[in-house]
């Protein structure tokens, strides 16, 4: 569902209302408040809202909605939460109604596990009827139940794709060889991904239609919408094209107030682009007309507008057709864009995941992850987050030192209209991916709006090690990375000297790797020149994870051999002391 989907929270009891108020802002929802009986009000809510969230007993909700259930393609999604907020159940309309998605969001808000019982969820398989949704694809006809059954039964499914995003299977828990899901012979079902209608098949077949078709329209003044619609449908039929694949309409600037054209765009809920005669006259077309040029200043309206609307690489696939009757006259042309139009606004969530334990992940970050279509990150970090992912997400794992590629991959997906998380351990803005992603956006001419960007802070290693060993950061402190991959070593040495001389508490990030072994020894030697050998030092590895190891020692006893890239080293200042294995840096209060 889109971000502005209508969600109504129904909580008829006092305890339930408290929980509803807690969820309202986080879900951008409204609460049902009325003196009417719920049984009387529910039929209208059923028609006017995309999803309904009940804070009520499951049995009561089942009885309430039973008379209203009609068709899973039209019914709203229904989610039930108990009054204590311990259980979140996707009850009805899990896929198309958006109940599964809402259940995940509510569970993330309440920090509990959602109860989702769809077959694909249980097998950790993507739902075939949700696959194209992030890209703005539209569901076509066909036997969706038959294709879904084949998926959950691990049967082979032929995939016929002629357009749209082709990496849709990347990063999913599924076998795909480019033409077949669960490769095997013969296929038991077919998934058709095209702007053309599928042929008749003897096996279950269902269609996704990417929005690749731009329709150019020229018309006489006051041509009625009815003629425009009939002309459109006849033109699509002539090329076996799907109505659902229409990306938008385009015409001449003079037609900006043409009522029939505006009504057509409104009916099909697609954008309507307008171009000046000068702009259209520059587009080469197969059927220019001197009559049209003399009338409106360009030799082509419908063909030129269709080609220009689709952007670079767009090709004309239906030359102009003329339609005329007592309702007016129009010309229709259709062009195919190599990139599908997506009405969704792309979003980038830059998320700090904390030190690695899911309990240290912030509630806001957890909720953001539940809303993502794709998650991009270094494999070590995505593995730690695995319990929070769901099968309809693409998990795109990258390698260390491939940060620029990951940033660009995430940006490209967001530009296509997806909601994409870029995850970093600790805080994404402290030696994480946030700065790199924003830098790539800035250098790419980003307008600050599309994609939308939101940064979610996390508990960084500096905070985590401090919490594990006491309170060593009570006075001024700084963090220095010893990695010279991106910063010259002589610059790092200057920073170490300055921090040591200024008596900062210092956290050393990236202290040592397999190839980089001398830097930590140099850093410790610099601090030994400025501080006493007894200065407390904390050495921590894999904080808050299963193999966590923490040692509080002194500057002269640090075991360099135990340090690696998963280690953070914290060096106290001249006043830091240790009591009962707790490192403490005085703030300056007078303590008697």
Same domain, 352 and 453: yes
Which one of 336, 365, 395 terminates a domain? 336
74-85 in b/e form (b: 16+ CB < 10 A) is ebbbbbbbbbeb
pLDDT at 34: 86
- For residue 151, being part of any structural domain is answered with yes
Beta strand 419-424 with 347-352 is parallel
- For residue 32, being part of any structural domain is answered with yes
Tallying the residues shown for the chain, one arrives at 592
| pLDDT (tens digit per residue) in 11-63 | 998 889 999 999 998 898 999 998 889 999 999 999 999 999 999 999 999 99
| pLDDT (tens digit per residue) in 195-248 | 999 999 999 999 999 999 999 999 999 999 999 999 999 999 999 999 999 999
| pLDDT (tens digit per residue) in 294-349 | 999 999 999 999 999 999 999 999 999 999 999 999 999 999 999 999 999 999 99
% of the chain at pLDDT higher than 90: 86
Same domain, 197 and 225: no
- Paired with 378 in beta bridges are 398
127 C-beta neighbours (distance < 10 Å), count: 22
In whole angstroms, what is the distance from residue 592 CA to residue 571 CA? 26
Which among 215, 273, 265 is positioned nearest to 241, based on CA atoms? 215
Contacts 24+ apart (CB under 8 A), 145-148: 145/204, 146/189, 146/203, 146/204, 146/205, 146/206, 147/189, 147/190, 147/191, 147/204, 147/205, 147/206, 148/119, 148/120
Beta strand 328-336 with 7-10 is unpaired
pLDDT-derived band of residue 1, with 50, 70 and 90 as boundaries? Answer: very low
In whole angstroms, what is the distance from residue 418 CA to residue 340 CA? 13
Same domain, 323 and 412: no
| pLDDT (tens digit per residue) in 526-584 | 999 999 999 999 999 999 988 899 999 999 999 999 999 899 999 999 999 999 999 99
In the three-class reduction of DSSP (H, G, I as helix; E, B as strand; rest coil), residue 252 is classed as strand
Look-up of token digits 């509080």: 552
Which residues have a Cβ under 8 Å from the Cβ of 373 and sit 6 or more positions away?
134, 392, 393, 394, 413, 418, 419, 420
Beta strand 394-398 with 374-378 is parallel
| pLDDT (tens digit per residue) in 430-487 | 999 999 999 999 999 999 999 999 999 999 999 999 999 999 999 999 999 999 989 9
Which one of 167, 185, 209 terminates a domain? 209
Same domain, 418 and 354: yes
- For residue 15, being part of any structural domain is answered with yes
In the three-class reduction of DSSP (H, G, I as helix; E, B as strand; rest coil), residue 216 is classed as strand
Which among 199, 98, 96, 195 is positioned nearest to 142, based on CA atoms? 199
CATH number at residue 443: 3.40.1010.10
pLDDT at 210: 98
Q: Between 452 and 74, where is the model more confident?
A: 452
Same domain, 398 and 353: yes
pLDDT at 293: 95
Provide mean pLDDT across the span 134-163: 94
- For residue 589, being part of any structural domain is answered with no
Lookup: tokens for 353: 């995941």
Q: How many domains does the chain have?
A: 5
Same domain, 332 and 360: no
**Which element (helix H / strand E) includes 275?**
strand 272-275
- Is the link from the previous residue into 451 a cis peptide, with omega within 30 of 0? yes
The end-to-end CA distance of the chain, in Å, is 61
**In which domain, by residue range, is 489 found?**
462-584
CA distances from 77 to 132, 137, 162, 177, 371 (A): 19, 20, 32, 34, 16
Which among 142, 141, 153, 271 is positioned nearest to 217, based on CA atoms? 271
**How does DSSP assign 62-123, residue by residue?**
HHHHGGG---TTTSPEEEEE-TTS--EEEEE--STT-HHHHHHHHHHHHTS-EE---HHHHT
pLDDT at 2: 44
Same domain, 187 and 299: no
pTM of the model: 0.89
Which one of 459, 475, 504 terminates a domain? 459
CA distances from 220 to 224, 226, 258, 291 (A): 10, 14, 9, 13
- For residue 123, being part of any structural domain is answered with no
CB 434 within 8 A of CB 480: no
In whole angstroms, what is the distance from residue 106 CA to residue 366 CA? 11
pLDDT at 119: 83
CATH number at residue 536: 3.30.950.10
pLDDT at 398: 82
Same domain, 218 and 313: yes
Same domain, 180 and 259: no
- For residue 122, being part of any structural domain is answered with no
Q: Determine which of 165-169, 221-225, 414-418, 426-430 has the lowest per-residue pLDDT on average.
A: 165-169
Same domain, 416 and 469: no
Same domain, 442 and 490: no
In whole angstroms, what is the distance from residue 386 CA to residue 474 CA? 35
CATH number at residue 244: 3.30.420.180
Lookup: tokens for 155: 């049967």
Which among 84, 162, 172 is positioned nearest to 120, based on CA atoms? 172
Same domain, 480 and 579: yes
pLDDT at 4: 45
- For residue 375, being part of any structural domain is answered with yes
Percent helix, strand, coil in the chain, to 5, is 35, 25, 40
pLDDT at 356 over 90: no
């Amino acid at each position: 569902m889109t971000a502005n989907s209508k969600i109504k929270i129904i909580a008829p009891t006092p305890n339930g209302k408290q929980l509803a108020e807690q969820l309202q802002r986080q879900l951008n929802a409204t609460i049902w408040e009325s003196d009417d009986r719920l049984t009387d009000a529910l039929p209208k809510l059923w028609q006017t809202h995309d999803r309904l969230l009940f804070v009520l007993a499951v049995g009561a909700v089942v009885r309430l909605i039973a008379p209203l259930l009609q068709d899973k393609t039209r019914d709203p999604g229904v989610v039930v939460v108990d009054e204590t907020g311990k259980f979140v159940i996707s009850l009805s309309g899990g896929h198309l109604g958006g109940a599964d998605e809402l259940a995940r969001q509510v569970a993330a808000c309440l920090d509990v596990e959602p109860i989702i019982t769809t077959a694909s969820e249980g097998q950790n398989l993507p739902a075939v009827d949700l696959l194209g949704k992030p890209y703005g694809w539209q569901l076509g006809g066909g036997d969706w139940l038959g294709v879904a059954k084949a998926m959950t039964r691990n049967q082979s499914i032929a995939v016929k794709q002629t357009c749209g995003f082709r990496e849709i299977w990347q990063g999913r828990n599924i076998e795909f060889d480019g033409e077949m899901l669960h490769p095997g012979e013969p296929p038991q079902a077919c998934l058709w991904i095209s702007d053309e209608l599928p042929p008749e098949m003897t096996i279950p077949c269902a269609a996704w239609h990417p929005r690749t078709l731009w329709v150019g329209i020229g018309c006489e003044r006051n041509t009625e919408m009815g003629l425009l619609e009939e002309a459109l449908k006849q033109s699509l039929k002539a090329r076996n094209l799907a109505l659902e694949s229409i990306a938008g309409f385009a015409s001449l600037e003079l037609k900006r107030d043409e009522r029939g054209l505006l009504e057509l765009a409104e009916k099909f809920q697609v954008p309507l682009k307008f171009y000046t005669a000068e702009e259209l006259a520059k587009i080469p077309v197969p059927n220019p007309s001197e009559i049209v040029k003399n009338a409106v200043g360009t030799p082509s309206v419908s063909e030129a507008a269709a080609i220009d609307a689709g952007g670079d690489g767009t090709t004309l696939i239906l030359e102009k057709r003329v339609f005329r009757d007592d309702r007016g006259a129009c010309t229709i042309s259709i062009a195919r864009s190599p990139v599908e139009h997506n009405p969704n606004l792309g979003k980038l969530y830059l998320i700090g995941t904390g030190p690695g334990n899911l309990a240290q992940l912030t509630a806001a970050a957890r909720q953001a992850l539940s809303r993502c279509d794709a998650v991009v990150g270094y494999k070590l970090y995505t593995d730690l987050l695995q319990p929070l992912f769901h099968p309809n997400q693409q998990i795109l794992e990258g390698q260390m030192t491939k940060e620029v590629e990951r940033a660009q991959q995430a940006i490209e997906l967001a530009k296509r209209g997806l909601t994409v998380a870029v995850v970093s351990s600790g805080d994404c803005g402290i030696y994480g991916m946030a700065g790199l992603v924003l830098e790539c956006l800035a250098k790419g001419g980003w307008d600050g709006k599309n994609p939308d960007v939101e940064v979610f802070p996390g508990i960084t290693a500096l905070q985590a090690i401090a919490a594990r060993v006491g309170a060593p950061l009570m006075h001024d402190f700084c963090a220095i990375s010893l990695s010279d991959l991106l910063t010259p070593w002589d610059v790092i040495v200057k920073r170490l000297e300055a921090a040591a001389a200024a008596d900062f508490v210092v956290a050393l990030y990236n202290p040592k790797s397999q190839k980089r072994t001398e830097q930590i020894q140099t850093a410790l030697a610099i601090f030994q020149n400025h501080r006493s050998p007894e200065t407390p030092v904390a050495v921590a590895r894999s904080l808050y994870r299963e193999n966590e190891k923490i040692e509080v020692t002194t500057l002269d006893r640090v075991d360099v051999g135990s340090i690696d890239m998963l280690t953070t080293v914290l060096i106290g200042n001249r006043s830091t002391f240790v009591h009962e294995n707790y490192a403490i840096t005085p703030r300056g209060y007078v303590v008697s």
